[in-house]
Amino acid sequence: MTTDLRAALREAMSSAEMPHCEPHLVTRSVLDGRRVRRRRWAWTTTAGVAAVTAAVLGAGLAVGPQQQQVRPAQESASGDSAERASIDAGKGVIGLPLDRFEPSQEEQAISELAFDVLMDECMVDAGFTYGVVDRRTEKRPSDRRYGVWISGEAELYGYDPPPPTPEARRLEELNAVDRPAGWIEQQLMCGEESRHVLIVSPLGSEGLGVDGYQTVLASDPAQDIRADWTSCLQEKGVPAPPGDAWIPAFAADADRESSIRLAVADVECKDSTMLVQRLGDLEAGHQAQLVLENESVLLAQREQVSATLEAARAVIASSGG
């Protein structure tokens, strides 16, 4: 791995701003006095795509496969068996090749906990309160890159997300506390001192993932899979979602009973057409090619993430956690 690539990646990660997020997202924000959660970047938001694209370019990652043909899952460029997505409905996980270069949910929670510990110590030393939230055992939301696909969630919540976890509610409580004068300014200073244990998004691999996701969904094989799904929906009397959306247009305004009915039909069609596995396999094959073309930089990213986690674990251990 060349020194300039390693340096470019570290610069991209170290110079990333602390995220300014909405309350439901997933990393701590020290820009506006709120502590929020980090998430993978939204697959369809312009801001998310712009941010991850900047991360890709800043890290020196290649996005050349965007111009290549996306092959059906049973094929690969070499003629060997294609990469497959690992689907775990129990955990709500769609496992893909780029995942091994990114922090797992547990690792992200370790980073966030260490950050909280350092922030709490720093803020208390300055005469303020902060609070620590441990999310290491929290049940995280399912991956909805292809919309709602888990029957249990559809039957309970329709298209709505599951209710907040106790840890998420605790964060909301902390965010709602009135801040005394000087609190936000002190939080900014403490955040700069503590950021060495925080994995800041977006990572370069996330940018590659968004780029690959968009490329795959625009491909003919993916459109064929989507057509199978929308045809099934129409047979059940559910209008197909517009464009690349995963939710029927009127579902947002539907009452709870209607939302559940629509979501259950949606999941039944995804199951009968094997949409999640088939699209996941297409995306896995595309990501495998991205990994081959960017492996040295991705490995450098993972080294940086691992170094951050080592520092985070040391902080937690020293605090008795």
pLDDT on residue 155 = 97
In sequence order, what are the beta bridge partners of 26?
37
Place of tokens 């941010």: 51
What are residue 182's phi and psi, to 5 degrees?
90, -10
Q: List C-alpha distances in Å: 3 to 11, 60, 212, 300.
A: 12, 12, 27, 10
Positive or negative, the CA dihedral 172, 173, 174, 175 is positive
Cβ distance 320 to 113 under 8 Å?
Answer: no
Read out DSSP for 5-62?
A: HHHHHHHHHHTPPPP---TTSBSB--SSS-B-B--PPPTT-HHHHHHHHHHHHHTT--
What are residue 172's phi and psi, to 5 degrees?
-60, -40
pLDDT on residue 321 = 75
pLDDT on residue 192 = 95
For the chain, the domain total comes to 1
In sequence order, what are the beta bridge partners of 35?
28
Cα gap 91→139, rounded to integer Å: 9
> DSSP class of residue 240?
P
What is the domain range of residue 227?
3-318
Closest to 278 measured CA to CA, from 233, 220, 225, 230: 225
> DSSP class of residue 94?
E
Cα gap 140→152, rounded to integer Å: 15
- Tell me the average confidence (pLDDT) per consecutive run of 10 residues in the chain, 321 residues long: 40 39 33 44 37 47 52 47 88 95 95 97 96 93 95 96 94 91 96 93 87 95 97 94 90 90 97 98 96 95 96 96 75
Q: Which two tokens stand for residue 186?
A: 């002190």
